[in-house]
Amino acid sequence: MGETKKILCPVDLSPAATSAAKEAASLAKALGAELVLVHVMNEPAFTVADPLLAPGELSGYALPALAEEYRVEMDKRLTRLGATLASPGLVVTTRLLRGSTHESIVDAATQEHADMIVMGTHGRTGIQHLLLGSTAERVVRTSKVPVMTLRVS
């Protein structure tokens, strides 16, 4: 691997992901690399609870106005995290994305010409892993650049 000039760090804006972002920021600063924080936004959805229907049988997406409010709020949170991590000698940029989480992360790494991806993983095993899957695992399998995963809790 050559010189690392840009590190992409996906965050879901949870405390655990913020911890991983801090580690990514430290690494980026030590390497003199730019840090790009990305958040893949999932559209707000709702499920109608009706005792006559099976759970989750009737669901849909929020109205466009609510979706826009959600997008604005996620952008504010991401921007705030980026500002918190930025420091002298460390450039931090942010991107809000939409789409499949792991595909969006890998695509963003390509578009940003990132040299590596640094991301947190919950390290789920067994039935939790089977049911919830692992975004980090999918990114590792499909990324064209090295991926560093950090176990977060």
Write the pLDDT tens digit of every residue in 35-81. Answer: 999 999 876 555 445 555 455 544 455 567 777 888 899 999 999 99
> Which of 15-24, 52-61, 87-96, 137-146 comes out lowest in average pLDDT?
52-61
Q: What is the pLDDT of residue 51?
A: 52
Write the pLDDT tens digit of every residue in 89-138. Answer: 999 999 999 999 999 999 999 999 999 999 988 655 555 444 445 888 89
Distances (CA, A) of 130 to 18, 103, 106, 127, 151: 25, 19, 22, 5, 18
Phi, psi at 33, each rounded to 5°: -100, 160
Amino acid at 87: S
Angle at 29 between CA 144 and CA 33, to 5 degrees: 40
Angle at 90 between CA 1 and CA 138, to 5 degrees: 50
Place of tokens 């991301």: 119
**Within 10 A of 86 (CB to CB), how many other CB atoms are there?**
15
Q: Which CATH superfamily is domain 6-151 in?
A: HUPs (3.40.50.620)
Q: What is the pLDDT of residue 132?
A: 40
Q: What is the pLDDT of residue 70?
A: 85
Phi, psi at 49, each rounded to 5°: -90, 110
**Total-model pTM:** 0.81
DSSP string over 46-58: EE---TTS-TTSS
**More reliable by pLDDT, 15 or 35:** 35
Structure tokens at 95: 């991107």
Q: What is the pLDDT of residue 125?
A: 55
Nearest-CA neighbor of 140 among 110, 116, 111, 122?
A: 116
